[in-house]
């Protein structure tokens, strides 16, 4: 009988929670990809790690039981998913954004009239750009990431490589063998 109120919590949830609405919740758990927050018994949502900033300490400020103020970024009652943001950000959330076709995503991000982008001529691939992997693994969470990303979208960790000797950021060149700052081998 105690499970009945939790099953009915999502009924009319879209009437109680609208996008950009400020709500107060309690942190229930912290994972590498985000913070889960309960806004009422039976309704829990997530703040994704990339919303909180970058680096390993982005999630360090949250502990289970902590009360926080946040904003509803997206709600999908049929799938029982609720996405939060620490800021009242007008950009669509992941739930909403993945439901749109790519051309509609670009329209949603722009306040101006959308104009199609001109087709640019294809540049021939050089050996350096041809050898760069299109995907790789994040050194923090070991998930597959795209080669063009600077930060992991799953854990928020930096995907840039650093020199073991001086700590400077290494260039994004696949054939680089020496640090550009200290000159030591990579």
What is the secondary structure of 114-174 as a DSSP string? P-PPPPPPPPPPPHHHHHS-SEEE-TTT--EEETT-SB-TTT--B---B-TTT-PBPPS-T
Look up residue 88 and give its two tokens.
């009242």
pLDDT > 70 fraction of the chain, expressed in percent and rounded: 67
Pick the range with the lowest mean pLDDT from 45-49, 97-101, 137-141, 179-183.
97-101
User: In the prediction, which pLDDT does 45 show?
Assistant: 93
- Please, are residues 161 and 169 in contact by the beta-carbon 8 Å criterion? yes
- CATH number given to 3-109: 2.40.50.140
Whole-model pTM: value is 0.48
SS3 of residue 13 by DSSP: helix
pLDDT for 1 beyond 50: no
Pick the range with the lowest mean pLDDT from 8-12, 57-61, 84-88.
57-61
User: In the prediction, which pLDDT does 186 show?
Assistant: 74
Domain boundaries, the chain: 3-109, 133-186
Report pLDDT digits (tens) over 155-178.
777 777 777 777 777 766 667 777
Per the model's pLDDT, the better-predicted residue between 147 and 26 turns out to be: 26
The mean predicted confidence, pLDDT, of the chain is 75
User: In the prediction, which pLDDT does 112 show?
Assistant: 46
pLDDT level of residue 151 (50, 70, 90 thresholds): confident
Report pLDDT digits (tens) over 97-145.
555 555 555 555 544 444 555 565 665 555 544 444 567 787 778 888 8
């Amino acid at each position: 009988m105690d499970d009945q109120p939790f099953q009915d919590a999502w009924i009319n949830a879209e009437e109680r929670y609208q996008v950009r609405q400020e709500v107060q919740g309690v942190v229930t758990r912290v994972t590498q990809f985000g913070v889960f927050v309960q806004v009422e018994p039976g309704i829990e949502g997530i703040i994704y790690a990339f919303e909180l900033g970058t680096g390993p300490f982005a999630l360090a400020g949250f502990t289970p039981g902590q009360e926080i103020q946040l904003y509803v970024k997206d709600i999908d009652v049929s799938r029982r998913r609720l996405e939060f943001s620490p800021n009242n950000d007008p950009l669509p959330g992941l739930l909403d954004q993945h439901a749109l076709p790519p051309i509609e995503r670009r329209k949603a991000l722009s306040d101006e009239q959308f104009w199609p982008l001109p087709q640019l001529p294809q540049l021939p691939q050089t050996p350096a750009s041809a050898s760069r992997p299109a995907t790789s693994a994040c050194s923090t969470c070991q998930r597959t990431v795209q080669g063009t990303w600077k930060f992991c979208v799953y854990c928020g960790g930096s995907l840039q490589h650093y020199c073991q000797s001086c700590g400077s950021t290494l260039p994004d060149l696949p054939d680089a063998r020496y640090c550009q700052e200290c000159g030591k081998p990579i």
